[in-house]
Structure 1
Amino acid sequence: MAKGYGLFFKSVRQLVRFVYPSYKAQISGEIAGPAVYVSHHRNLFGPFVILLWYPEFIRTWILHVFLDRKSCSRQYADYTFTKRFGFPRALANPAAFFLSFMITKLLKSGRGIPVFRSSRKIIRTFQESVEALKNGESIAIYPDIDYTDNAAGVKGMYEGFLYLEKYFYKETGRHVQFVPLYASKTKRLLVTGTPVFFREGEDFRTEKEVVYEKLHKALNRLAAQYGE
Structure 2
Amino acid sequence: MRVNVLGITIDSYSMQEAVAEIRKAIEDQLRMRVVTANPEMIYESGKNSRLRELINSADLVTPDGIGVVWAAARLGTPVQERVTGIDLVQSLFSVADQQKWRIFFLGGKPGVALQAARQVALKYPGIVWEESHGYFNEEEEVYLLEKISTFQPDILLVGLGAPRQEYWNAEHPELAKVSIGVGGSFDALAGIVDRAPQRIQELKLEWLYRLWKEPWRWKRQTVLPRFVIKVLWQKIIT
TM-score, length-scaled by structure 1 = 0.29
TM-score, length-scaled by structure 2 = 0.28
- Structure with bigger RCO (C-alpha 8 Å, 6+ apart): 1
